[in-house]
Structure 1
Amino acid sequence: MAGRMSFHCHWNTPIFSGLKTTLLLFICSLKGVRSNQVVVDQHVMAVLGKNITLMCTVEVEKNLSLTQTSWERKANGNTSTLAVYNPIYGISIAEEYQGRLNFKTPSKEDATIVLEDVSFADTGLYTCKVATFPLGNTQASTTVTVMVEPKVYVSAGSAPLIDGGNETVVAICTAEKGKPMAEVSWETDLFGHSERKVIDEPNDTITMEMQYRWVPTRFQRDRKLTCVVRHPALETEFRIPYTLHVQYAPEIDITGYDGNWYIGRENVHLTCRADANPPPARYTWTRLGDELPAGVQIVNDTLVFSRALERNDSGVYRCEVANDIGHQAKQREIRIQDVPLKQTSTVAVASAVIGAILALLLIAVFIIVLLTPRKREPSYLDKVIDLPPTHKHPPEYTERAVSIPLTVNQMHTRKSDSHHLFQGNTIPDYWEHRSSSHEQLSYQEWICHTSGSEKVYINHREHYV
């Protein structure tokens, strides 16, 4: 915030008093003799070792004349002049500030100065003074505070990070000798926690240490932490990434054996791949229960068969890897076959395709069989319903003429009378002896059959089994 200070017209003469003095001041203001102002920043933060600009602008009325501007500094109860600007005589700089202090753009309206390479001794109260005629001096002051930009760095903890070890300090973020104290924090997704340590330093500076504590594990190796530092002397926040280096014993995997090693095969090898931190110091190859075959060479982490495979190359091969943390071993059984496997990948793919096609055909046939309607077989009840009439329940009884088997002569006699089968009201004895289960039939229901010399009419609806 800029500060303004005004200088007004005052004439102190013992001749004038009371009303006369008031009247004179009123006349003075009517003549246009008003005030001039000095504008400065009330507070300025300087950074140790860098430059600082102290602003001072002057607002002078047209009827006033700027005679001189100057800067003074007050510290430890003493006041000293740093620099003077006179429109006629030029610029004057105090000897102790030669080469470090200058007016930025000296003029009647601007008395701003630039102080280079600020030190702790530059802390204090600075006053910009303006001398005008005929009003005299006008001034305004600004306070300068020297900040110290911290030195920021990240370091590892005192102990190495060992997989499976106890909680330890994995990294330290330091903001060294800052003024005021810096704000330090860690950004990470690890499940650790931070601890702060504050150290007082000379010249009211403070060192801030932010430790990060964590239980090391190989599964979180190469993870990153980020140290974040904020300070008024920094234009932006300071960010430093740090990678965790967890040490662990080797993790081993043996590659190179595809299960199709056969007698006479060439250019084969076994490779012992090891993941370790620090890197493996040595590799050791052995064969369980026997020595390594002749013609086999060890090249770093690889067991090379420099000749065609033989039957006695079968066995269990063991690889052992060691580093500064520990050693681990792994083994692989190798079987040498008489002949190579015949089924190639192409044949296997073709077989799979053919099998899939056959499976689809079977599914299609099954669906067609399920959806095709089948002829219904007669059931037992159907067979019973279709039995001859003698095996069925007799129909409901109705009155009609009696029909009995007739001979040929009788048939000729009865043809003459088509309306009646019997004369009179008497029913022949033959009807009385018929079973009640026989159905009464008309003449047309009888069919002629030859029986010996006579033709006998039989009811075609009655079948005898």
Structure 2
Amino acid sequence: IHILALVFVQSNFVEPPTPDTSLRSLSETQTRLPCRYQPEKGERVVQVTWAKELPEGNKEQIITAHFTDGHTEFGRYSGRVKFESSSPTENSALLIPSTEVSDEGTYTCHISTFPNGNFEMSIILTVWSLPISSLDPVILEEGQSFRVAATCRAVGRPLPRLSWDTDLPGQSQNRTSEGGGSVSSHYSLHPLRGMNGKKLDCLVWHPGLDGPRRISNLLVVQFPPDATISASPGDWYVGMEKAELVCESGGYPKPQNVTWTWRGGALPDGVSAVGGKLFFGRALRTNDSGVYGCVVRNNVGVGKTEYLLTLTETSPRTGDSSEDNLLLIIIGASAGALVMVLIIIVLLVNRYHRHRNKKLEMELSEKTEEINSLSRQASFRRLNSVSTDPRVQVKKKTKTKNE
């Protein structure tokens, strides 16, 4: 009869709208279990009770509210749950402010009415917990055998899935704990120095996450140093100033211990070492030649190298200076000769123009004199033709007599 009554009035539950309701929540967050009964005309809700079904089939009371006597919390739920509304008989939704995984189960909202009796609706609650993950890297050394380079672990509900994001050649192996509450993944490889500093990230997958959670990690592979010595550029000679040798070393971790030797022993006087640099604090001497050694160490191994220093008696720059001076002399002489040629050309051009102008003046003067001479001669001829010709005078006299 009770079940029939429940089914008959199930539609009076306006929240949730369906009789079979499943909810999902995350641990450490607030969970709301809806329950609102709409009484019929002349019907009144007098009491609301929430209960949780136990594995053996019994029900454990959580909280109850009477329309006149107030509400009561029971047992381990005291202080952990509360009604959403100050009027629980009208809005009977239950709140769990900080949900725990143990809160997962089936909850029943029991409504007591007058005069129609009791009615129930159930909600199945699933509680997820977001994964808690960690990554444990392993410091490797070059030359070791195939072994684990990093381990990634995660716990969550449901169980997370782990994968690796890397370009390193290796293999991963996943394991689940006996209780099924945690998962781990081991990534193994054969360590080489070229792998040092390469990406080896762990990805944690879970349905409660929008995407994979990345745990960033860089592989660490330690290897011994390789030492090399470089010298100041150019030939080294007796009397050279500010000379230095530099010991460069690879390796990881970077070597901090650098030792210099000369001919297998102590350094010459006036020569000092500061880390990877060897300074000659004075001009080079003939006896500074010989084998200089550099030894570098890190926690993995040792690197050694030698450099044979040979000195010349004179600076190679002296010959260069003579050649440079000779070149400057040649350039200067060529420039001087070019200037002299230009001066001579200018003088010759000037002399040519003066000679030409003088010749033109003489020709002009001769022409002027010639013109003047011809003019005078013409004048004399006209004069003589008028006043000195006897034939003219005789004709004039004869004409007079005849008259």
**What TM-score comes out, normalization by structure 2 length?**
0.68
In the other structure, the counterpart of 1:39 is 15
Kindly state the Cα deviation for residue 234 of structure 1 after the two structures are TM-superposed. 4.8
Matched, 1:251 2:226: yes
Kindly state the Cα deviation for residue 81 of structure 1 after the two structures are TM-superposed. 2.1
Counterparts of 2:59 and 2:266, CA distance in 1: 94
In the other structure, the counterpart of 1:196 is 174
In the other structure, the counterpart of 1:332 is 307
Say if 1:174 and 1:317 are closer, same or farther in 2 by CA, change over 3 A: same
Kindly state the Cα deviation for residue 187 of structure 1 after the two structures are TM-superposed. 0.7
- SS of structure 1 residue aligned to 2:194: helix
Q: Deviations over 1:127-166 (max 9, x none)?
A: 1122334433332111234444443110124xx4122332
In the other structure, the counterpart of 2:60 is 80
Matched, 1:67 2:42: no
In the other structure, the counterpart of 1:275 is 250
In the other structure, the counterpart of 2:31 is 52
Matched, 1:181 2:162: no
2:132 to 151, 159, 166: 151
1:136 to 102, 117, 122: 117
1:263 to 232, 238, 244: 238
Q: Deviations over 1:424-453 (max 9, x none)?
A: xxxxxxxxxxxxxxxxxxxxxxxxxxxxxx
Q: Deviations over 1:300-333 (max 9, x none)?
A: 3221212122233233322121223221212233
Whether the 8 Å contact between 1:52 and 1:115 is mirrored in structure 2 is yes
Equivalent pairs, count: 311
Counterparts of 2:213 and 2:85, CA distance in 1: 34
Give the structure with the larger helix fraction. Answer: 2
In the other structure, the counterpart of 1:165 is 144
Q: Deviations over 1:190-237 (max 9, x none)?
A: 121211122123xxx422110111111111211121111122455653
Whether the 8 Å contact between 2:260 and 2:273 is mirrored in structure 1 is yes
Counterparts of 2:118 and 2:86, CA distance in 1: 18
Kindly state the Cα deviation for residue 67 of structure 1 after the two structures are TM-superposed. 2.9
- SS of structure 2 residue aligned to 1:96: helix
1:90 to 54, 57, 70: 70
Gaps of 5+ in 1: 10-33, 348-465
In the other structure, the counterpart of 2:199 is 224
Counterparts of 1:269 and 1:329, CA distance in 2: 18
Matches within 5 A, 1:55-454: 55-61=34-40, 64-75=43-54, 76-107=56-87, 108-119=89-100, 121-157=102-138, 160-176=139-155, 178-201=156-179, 205-234=180-209, 237-280=212-255, 282-288=257-263, 292-337=267-312, 338-341=314-317
Counterparts of 1:56 and 1:336, CA distance in 2: 98
Q: Which moved more, 1:165-174 or 1:283-292?
A: 283-292
Counterparts of 1:167 and 1:96, CA distance in 2: 52
Say if 1:94 and 1:236 are closer, same or farther in 2 by CA, change over 3 A: farther
Whether the 8 Å contact between 2:264 and 2:293 is mirrored in structure 1 is no
- SS of structure 1 residue aligned to 2:236: coil
Counterparts of 1:65 and 1:289, CA distance in 2: 106
Say if 1:35 and 1:274 are closer, same or farther in 2 by CA, change over 3 A: closer
Larger radius of gyration: 1
The one-letter code sitting in structure 2 at the alignment partner of 1:182 is P
The one-letter code sitting in structure 1 at the alignment partner of 2:71 is I
Whether the 8 Å contact between 2:13 and 2:35 is mirrored in structure 1 is no
- SS of structure 1 residue aligned to 2:71: strand
- SS of structure 1 residue aligned to 2:251: strand
Cα RMSD of the aligned pairs, angstroms, is 3.0
Counterparts of 2:21 and 2:253, CA distance in 1: 59
Q: Deviations over 1:372-430 (max 9, x none)?
A: xxxxxxxxxxxxxxxxxxxxxxxxxxxxxxxxxxxxxxxxxxxxxxxxxxxxxxxxxxx
The one-letter code sitting in structure 2 at the alignment partner of 1:199 is S
Say if 1:290 and 1:155 are closer, same or farther in 2 by CA, change over 3 A: closer
Whether the 8 Å contact between 1:251 and 1:274 is mirrored in structure 2 is yes
Which structure would you say has the larger RCO, counting Cα contacts within 8 Å and 6 or more residues apart?
Answer: 2
Counterparts of 2:93 and 2:241, CA distance in 1: 87
The one-letter code sitting in structure 2 at the alignment partner of 1:169 is V
Kindly state the Cα deviation for residue 111 of structure 1 after the two structures are TM-superposed. 1.6
- SS of structure 2 residue aligned to 1:219: helix
